[in-house]
Amino acid sequence: MPQDHPKKEAKEIKFFTEYGDANRYKVLEVIGRGSYGVVCSAIDMHTREKVAIKRIHDIFYHASDAIRILREVKLLRLLRHPDIVDIKHIMLPPSKKEFKDIYVVCELMESDLHQVIKANDDLTREHHQFFLYQMLRALKFMHTANVYHRDLKPKNILANANCKLKICDFGLARVAFSDTPTTVFWTDYVATRWYRAPELCGSFSSKYTPAIDIWSVGCIFAEVLLGKPLFPGKSVAHQLDLITDLLGTPSSETIAGVRNEKARRYLSEMRRKSAVPFSQRFPNLDPAAVRLLQRLLAFDPKDRPSAVEALADPYFKGLAKVEREPSCQPISRSEFEFERRKLTKDDVRELLYREILEYHPQIRDDYLNGTDTTKLLYPSFTGHFKSQFTYHKENDGKSAPVLPLERKHFSLPRSTVCTNLVSPDREPVRRNPKACNNSVGLPDRRFGNPSKTHPPPKVPVAANLGRVVGPVLPMMSVICQTLDFGRHVLDHVACDCSSNTPLDRYTIRSHVKPCTKSRKRRHQTPTLVCSRRNVGQCRVFSTTKSETALNGITGGPQPFLELTKESKSPISSTNLFEVVADDLQKLNQNLLSMVGKENPALVSAAQRIFGAGGKRMRPALVFLVSRATAGLVGLEDLTVEHRRLAEIIEMIHTASLIHDDVLDDSDMRRGKETLHQLYGTRVAVLAGDFMFAQSSWCLANLENLEVIKLISQVIKDFASGEIKQASSLFDCEVELEEYLIKSYYKTASLIAASTKGAAIFSGVERDTTKKMYEYGRNLGLSFQIVDDILDFTQSTKQLGKPAGSDLAKGNLTAPVIFALERDPKLKDIIESEFSEPGSLDEAIGIVKSSGGIERAQELAKQKADLAIQNLQCLPPSAFRSALEDMVTFNLERID
């Protein structure tokens, strides 16, 4: 490394290796995280330019995903244009036969158009015009190359504060060649229904045209004008209804050209609708913008203008001359010959490796000439990068928010959200409108200048990029709790140090010289921090001064220790809450007394419900948190409020189960007949209502307004969760974030209230109370995700209900959402509502084979890690250990 570089702090670990051109980049921080990789911002030390670097990992896990990446990197190399995101560099792997990850260097963008629209309700006419102008200019370039994007939407259009837009995400794009007889072989699946052209909604056409992108741009333009989506359909049928509500029923000629029989019949049988004049529907918008919008959103693709024709519209008068906007030569068929044949993973690896070599001309020439020397230039490159990216993912994310999990499919970087990232408790940075970069229309000498002679008459002021806050990445460094030293030599250390389940214990053997503690000082147990670097090693350093701990080691190189995972017996449900067994026994005795004796039928029902057993997990969490926090404030025993809270929580939980059984028409609960099967729906509903009411009465008598509000919100969340679930059945557009919100309402909300309420009654500091809430929230989410995994992995006998029952009802859970990203065929099966015999079994098979289960398991482990981190504020005790064991027990249910 050059000597003039500033000296790094001791705690900083290099991001790049000393090999090749990797040390050309100085990594700053993690700025994004998607389903398939991590994005870091960096500085190119040669050009001093900020860039985004994304690691796309395990790229060949599915050949279809690798082909999508290959297609995208190839297209972005061929489509060099100022309004299309630019790949600047792709790091060279050590060998084409072994690499699994790739590192892509792109230009760094600050946000995307979706966030810009959300954050700005005062965009001007100049904003509207300039945004559309850039999108159409990019489409002209793409379409003259015969490339159809097919997935244009606000989230796929990156944005900077100076109003510069760039189109990204070409994973679903296709190239049309002149002799291609049909494009039916293209999948009709695109990621977001709201921006999907009518001919894609119903598989109308036998040969798609660039008009599918024109429609999408029209929908995006409408959203820019209105501040909200124009056609937010909940299903294909609903989407077509919304479209025809505005455009009217298509003509008989248009309907006759529909190739899909079901779609043709649907349109023919549709109630006749008259078109609504756009000037009437949008009376307060710029008339010129409305007229162009109406042209872009013609139902028949033949009636939509091309990008060139749209740019010539009077709406852009004075902005640019169409003929001066750059075009692209049609892409050669040889570039995409691979699309016509079936490829193995090795075939795709070879093609992708050759694509990477396009960014290394000298090595490419050597490779093509048979003199490949890359093994000498880049030894062990991938292994080093993998550990370095892992380090930054785990550590940088601790202090900076990251992007939400919003990727819909395997794709290249969404290098968004850098300077606009703010923490939830800080005000977002306000930009000075006068500080807008006026060089938006300056020439780009590489590609020609789209705005060289006719720059925009008014450069729009800087748009607010929005407030994007995502989950904080966990830092996988923990303080060792158990240290075992010999008399004079560091020999073994047992610590919690795991990538996903921090409770795994490891035996660590030192590989340093013997170390004698200072005899002049009083012996104390040194505290070590073990920061895991890879599967087999752990970096150890002292958290105290060198003269008081591990004298002789901390002054020199930090030692590396080998890790050997210890075998351990799984946690069972019988001993999980052993430390609060007496508290749970008292709880069981008190539950029946809370019901009262006024109504014999209700007493009988209550005896059956509470006598059915169950783990009593929620009240147990109340007891565990109560006792774990008691030591912080000097409490010797639980208060009356602690015990009453546990009883209230269990009653609310039981009432929700009664109502769930009625809604789901379930026959069995905990191995016994459900209440509505025994006593009828009327009695069951009233029993649930009574328990909600009784728990509310007891809650009010606690006379703690904060806890009353907390628990009351839980009851509201139950209803919100059921409504959300009912409104999204069979909806393949449901995103992971929506699923997590619904899971919070239905499961995690009550668990989080249990742990937070217990901390409130202990009287601990507000920061500790907040951490107990986060522990419960993340534990609850992890529990729900594991439950949803078990719906696919366990048998009907184990579940007590048919396997895949949630999917059969149209409830799309985490494994299904992840599987939809990998296999578009699953979407068609689900939207048919399993009307074909055997289609449900086929859908379950796709979920299992597409990695949906594994990725859901990773998500459950992420939430588990976050739960564990929030327990670090508690002093070590048997109760804290039980809270940790609760997290481990949940994850072990999958095994």
Tokens of 692: 């909600």
- Name the DSSP letter for residue 314: G
Residues 6+ apart with CB under 8 A from 575: none
**Exposure on the CB side of residue 765, measured as CA atoms within 13 A:** 5
Q: Is the Cβ–Cβ distance between 460 and 116 less than 8 Å? A: no
* Alpha-carbon radius of gyration of the chain: 30
Residue ranges of E strands in 172-304: 174-175
DSSP H stretches of helix in 665-765: 675-679, 681-701, 705-727, 736-743, 749-762
d(CA 845, CA 738): 24
Residues 6+ apart with CB under 8 A from 397: 30, 33, 472, 473, 474, 475
Q: In the sheet where 49-56 sits, what is the strand order?
A: 25-34, 37-44, 49-56, 102-107, 87-90
What is the three-class DSSP state of 25?
A: strand
Tokens of 340: 């016509």
d(CA 834, CA 825): 13
Residue where the block lists tokens 């409130």:
760
Pairing relationship of beta strands 174-175 and 147-148 according to DSSP bridges: antiparallel
- Name the DSSP letter for residue 744: I
Residue 151 is among the residues annotated as catalytic for this protein: yes
| Side chain identity at residue 850, one-letter code | S
- Nearest Cα to 392, choosing from 40, 45, 11, 42? 40
Beta bridge partners of 530: 478, 540
- Nearest Cα to 483, choosing from 568, 561, 554? 561
d(CA 433, CA 426): 21
d(CA 658, CA 674): 8
For the chain, report the end-to-end CA distance as a whole number of angstroms. Answer: 46
On whether 54 is known to bind a ligand per the annotation, the reply is yes
Q: Is the Cβ–Cβ distance between 869 and 772 less than 8 Å? A: no
- Hey, what's the torsion of the CAs at 792, 795, 800, 803, to 10 degrees? 40
Q: Count CB neighbours of 500 within 10 A.
A: 15
CA of 289: how far to CAs of 133, 221, 224, 295, in Å? Answer: 12, 9, 11, 10
What is the three-class DSSP state of 553?
A: coil
d(CA 297, CA 299): 6
Tokens of 249: 């029923």
DSSP string, 428-459: PPPPPGGG--TTTT---TTT--TTSSS--SSP
d(CA 37, CA 233): 30
Q: Count CB neighbours of 266 within 10 A.
A: 16
| Catalytic, out of 112, 151, 791, 823 | 151
Burial of 171 (0-12, 13-18, 19+ CB in 10 A): buried
Q: Within its chain, how far is the Cα of 604 from the centroid?
A: 46
d(CA 695, CA 655): 10
Tokens of 479: 């303080």
- Name the DSSP letter for residue 493: E
DSSP string, 595-650: H-SS-HHHHHHHHHHHHT----HHHHHHHHHHHHHHHHHT--S--HHHHHHHHHHH
Residues contributing to the annotated binding site: 54
Give the residue numbers annotated as catalytic, written as ranges: 151
Residues contributing to the annotated binding site for ATP: 54
